[in-house]
Chain A
Amino acid sequence: MNDFIAARSQMALSLAFHIVFSCIGMVMPFFMAVAHYYYLRSGKIVYRNVTKAWSRGVAIFFATGAVSGTVLSFELGLLWPAFMKHAGPIFGLPFSLEGTAFFIEAIALGFFLYGWDRFNKWFHWFTGLVVGISGLLSGILVVAANAWMNSPAGFEYAEGRYFNIDPLKAMFNDAWFSQALHMCIAAFAATGFAVAGVHAYMVLRKKNIAFHTKAFRIAAVFACAAAILQPLSGDHSAKNVAKRQPAKLAAMEAVFYTQTHSPLLIGGIPDEKSKTVKYGIEIPGMLSFMISGNSGTEVKGLDQIREADHPPVLITHLAFQLMVALGMLMFAISILYFFSLWKKRSWQEKPWLLKLFVLAIPIGFIAVEAGWTVTEVGRQPWIIYGFMRTADAVTPMPGIVYSFYLFTAVYFSLALIVCFMLYRQIKMVPVLYDIPE
């Protein structure tokens, strides 16, 4: 493994690790706010227990997310100093605002976790809500920074120099809205399905049924609402990518040759050497139609892009297919679930519905990782699309391979410990919250 690949792998792993905890931190406070609200209005202790049980998990995830976020802010410089030297001032604004939002989140979390029965009960509830809002805001801001890498704006460039910087233009680049929207909805879907599935599992095991059913309901509604909205956002994002990063779209859809009436490719394994796709199903004209409303529109293929500027097609395409497949699955489950809420209440107790959610536990997060793979790998070979190549941004320090192995071991151990603690948490629910079996 050479140093460049090691640096990319370390960054990818750090981001992949951090995003899981970020999603949970962005979303769970809203679930908690709902449960907490029900408790304050109805006085039913079960809702207080759900809020507190979720808080315990959130505290663990928050701490892990906070330290992994710190790692990323350092790794930007440790691994990509040439990038940060130029990009730092340009996209620093969303980062400084994100720092502010995250600071507020940390303070609000302090109030919320430690403030039970110490403050006015609605103030206390409000601090929980603030955790969610500032978390969501942090996520949006940091994604805006990433969006700048895909859609560079707010500067002029000549001979390796970046000047005439406009921080606001940089932050509100052409990609920020579609990326931020898609990420926020994804966070709700991923966290929602994971949490709902865990509670569904406990209901199936007949443990503390009232507790887990109520928890399940809150998570499932958020998850399914998000999963239904997400394809709309995905469509918006794809249209945006088609305009701004045709190379990325070409890789996503394995469009080797420019064509009108470009087909939508479902599945398939692209072969970059022979520029063909094996085993896929093509829907004629569909890709052109989806990006423009007209099946006659020309889609730019990789043939119109310099070979040296091609993103990796295999990984980008497969990741994209995985993300969409899982997204469609979540969409289908959500339709089923809302239908049951609307017309077939009896389904809510049926084991098959709960089992479906149990099986769906990881799929939202896998979709999130797949989606990030699409956008990051699809941007290669650029770190600043069209301006700076990733290979030119990497640290000159050799031996990054060892750093990669070390951080991999750390993340792996942390993941294990967190899972272990989550398992213990769930087991201890009846003991901690005085709930009769």
Chain B
Amino acid sequence: MLYVVIIYLWTALLLYLLLGGADFGAGIIELFTSDKNKDKTSNTLYRAIGPVWEANHMWLIIVIVILFTGFPEIYSTVSTYLHIPLAIMLLGIIARGTAFAFRHYDAVQDEMQKVYNKIFRYSSFITPLFLGIIAGSAVGGRIDPNASGFADAFIFSWLNLFSFSVGLFTVAICGYLAAIFIIGEARTDAGRKRYIIKARSMNIAAALAGILVFFAAGLSGIPLAKWLFGNPVGIVAITAALISLIAQWRLISKGKIIIIRVLAGFQIAMILLATTYYHYPRVIVMKGGGYLSLLEHRGDDKAITALALALLIGSLFILPALVYLMYSFQKKKPALK
């Protein structure tokens, strides 16, 4: 049952990155769209994600519940030392969720729209930034349970080059996912061409951010290359991600909408696999060699069994409903030339 829970944890994280990430990416794209196209882009995006956005962000709650039920020591440790970036990420989540709903549901469409838009776009950038910072900080080895001062314990645990670069990389990936997604939502050829350019630029941004991560790792003494390429799974995963990337570049202008979405999702899954595989079963790597492991520091076994059952039974209801939701609102796009 422990492995059921671990698989759900990883999968929920991946789904949050893909689905919630695409949502964040929507705002990121709007942020980097020229003023004259902003409205068209946000309308297209809204049409695409409107029905599913609430459900997309549920995966984060699933991750949190799995952590505090099955791995409470990990949850408490992260909540203590990464309190500040978690709080900032929370503020981003609040701002983004409410701004998104408010801008659509406000009965009067006036100057307030500008306010909602600004809040939506900036928070769409900040939230994945801090999500990445938290991810990077988990394994960056700066969390110090023996820290003496406030700064060492609660600031330098996350405020460092490596974490920030992982944050930027996460932002770029989210933007990229949304860009790939929106290509299939375009209703005009002009729109589609615009989005293809967007996807390529986001791709380049992600590549640059990726290079920054390696650079930052090198400066910080983090053996990132060893983590990713020092084991067969990592090598295969990164290679698969690269192949998928190349395939997307070639298929992007051929209108193979479903395939490029699947490939983009696959690519991100491979990146996540490569980055988590090396450390598994450790999820927190601390300063001085300490760590927290999903196996060694798991919670009570009965609680984990109950959790696994709740997840399995819940999935029976949720997954078909979710798939049906996404499918229903994807039908019958007007034909593109």
Q: Which residues of A approach B to under 8 Å, CB–CB?
A: 56, 59-60, 62-64, 66-71, 73-74, 76-78, 81-82, 84-90, 92-93, 95-97, 99-100, 102-104, 106-111, 113-115, 118-119, 163, 165-168, 395-399, 403, 406, 410, 414, 417, 421, 424-425, 427-428, 432
**Bound state CA distance, A68 and B101, in angstroms?**
14
Q: How far is the CA of A98 from the CA of B62 in the complex (A)?
A: 10
Q: Are A70 and B93 in contact (CB under 8 A)?
A: yes
Are B100 and A97 neighbours in the complex by a CB distance under 8 Å?
A: no
> Given the complex, which residues of B lie within 8 Å of A396, measured CB to CB?
80
Stretch at the interface among B65-73, B184-192, B209-217, B254-262: B65-73
In the complex, the answer to whether B86 meets A93 with C-beta atoms within 8 Å is: no
Q: Is the CB of B303 within 8 A of A167?
A: yes
Q: What is the CB-to-nearest-CB distance from B256 to chain A, in angstroms, rounded to a whole number?
A: 27
Which 10 pairs, one residue from A and one from B, show the smallest C-beta to C-beta distance? A92-B69, A77-B79, A63-B101, A89-B303, A100-B314, A88-B72, A81-B76, A88-B68, A167-B306, A428-B107
Among B69, B93, B318, which residue has its beta carbon within 8 angstroms of that of A88? Answer: B69
With A81-B76, A410-B91 already in contact, the answer to whether A103 and B69 are too (CB < 8 A) is no
Among B48-56, B172-180, B267-275, which stretch is in contact with chain A?
Answer: B48-56
Chain A residues near B306: list those with CB within 8 A. 92-93, 96, 167-168
Q: How far is the CB of A337 from chain B (nearest CB, A)?
A: 29
6 new A-B contacts at CB < 8 Å, known A92-B307, A100-B313, A397-B83: A63-B97, A73-B65, A74-B79, A89-B299, A104-B321, A421-B105
Q: Are B300 and A163 in contact (CB under 8 A)?
A: yes
B154 touches A397 (CB 8 A): yes
The reply to whether A84 and B54 contact each other, CB–CB distance below 8 Å, is no
In whole angstroms, how far apart are the Cα atoms of A92 and B318 in the complex?
19
Find the A residue at minimum CB distance from B150: A398
Contact A165 B311 (CB under 8 A): no
Q: What is the CA–CA distance of A63 and B53 in the complex, to the nearest angstrom?
A: 10
A168, B60: Cα distance in complex, Å: 25
Tally the A-B contacts, defined by beta carbons under 8 Å.
203
A180 to chain B, nearest CB (A): 18
Residue B57 contacts which of A70, A90, A100, A166 (CB distance < 8 angstroms)? Answer: A70
B62–A85 contact, CB under 8 A?
no
Chain B nearest CB, measured from A17 CB (Å): 11
Residue of B nearest to A74 (CB): B90
| B87 located at the interface, meaning its Cβ lies under 8 Å from any Cβ of chain A in the complex | yes
Q: Is the CB of B76 within 8 A of A60?
A: no
Mask, B74-95, CB within 8 Å of A = 1, is 0111111001001100110110
Rounded to whole Å, the gap between the CB of A297 and the closest CB of chain B is 39
Find the A residue at minimum CB distance from B318.
A103
Contacts of A74 on B, CB cut-off 8 Å?
Answer: 64, 79, 86-87, 90
Listed residue (A77, A95, A108, A166) with the most chain B CB atoms within 10 angstroms of its CB: A77
User: Which chain B residues lie closer than 8 Å to A85 at the CB level?
Assistant: 72-73, 75-76
Q: In whole Å, how far is A141's beta carbon from the nearest beta carbon of chain B?
A: 10
Q: What would 29 A/B residue contacts be, using CB atoms closer than 8 Å?
A: A59-B104, A59-B105, A67-B93, A76-B68, A77-B76, A78-B86, A81-B75, A81-B76, A85-B75, A88-B68, A92-B307, A95-B65, A95-B69, A96-B65, A96-B311, A96-B314, A104-B318, A107-B322, A108-B321, A110-B329, A111-B51, A167-B306, A168-B306, A395-B80, A395-B83, A397-B80, A398-B150, A414-B94, A417-B102
* Docked pose: A114 CA to B49 CA in angstroms: 11
Chain B residue contacts of A69, Cβ below 8 A: 61
Contact (Cβ within 8 A) B79 A395:
yes
Q: B98: CB under 8 A from chain A?
A: yes
Contact of A100 (CB < 8 Å), options: B60, B72, B105, B317: B317
How far apart are B217's CB and chain A's nearest CB, in angstroms?
27
Q: Are B107's CB and A77's CB within 8 A?
A: no
Are B303 and A93 in contact, CB atoms less than 8 angstroms apart?
A: yes
B336 contacts the other chain (CB 8 A): no
B302–A167 CB distance below 8 A? yes
Measured CB to CB, the nearest residue on chain B to A110 is: B51
Q: For A56, list chain B residues within 8 Å (CB).
A: 105, 107
Determine if B68 and A107 form an interchain contact, defined as CB atoms under 8 angstroms apart: no
The CA-CA distance from A421 to B116 in the complex, in Å, is: 12
Q: Is A165 touching B303 in the complex (CB atoms < 8 A)?
A: yes
Interchain CB contact under 8 A, A100 and B68: no
* B90 and A70 within 8 A (CB): yes
Interface flags, B311-334, vs A, CB<8A=1, else 0: 101100110011001001100000
- Within 8 Å CB of A163, what residues of B? 300
Q: Out of A73, A107, A397, A398, which one reaches B61, CB within 8 Å?
A: A73
Chain B residue with the shortest CB-CB distance to A56? B105
Selected from A82, A111, A115, A421, the residue in CB contact (under 8 A) with B106 is: A421
B77 cross-chain contacts in A, Cβ below 8 A: 81
Distance between B40 CB and nearest chain A CB, rounded to angstroms: 20
Q: How far is the CB of B167 from chain A (nearest CB, A)?
A: 18
Q: A93-B306, A104-B317 are in contact. Are A110 and B90 (CB under 8 A)?
A: no
Q: Which of A82, A84, A87 has the most CB of B within 10 A?
A: A84
Q: Are B68 and A84 in contact (CB under 8 A)?
A: yes
Give the chain B neighbours of A100 by CB distance below 8 A: 310, 313-314, 317-318
Residues of B within 8 A of A106 (CB): 54-55, 58
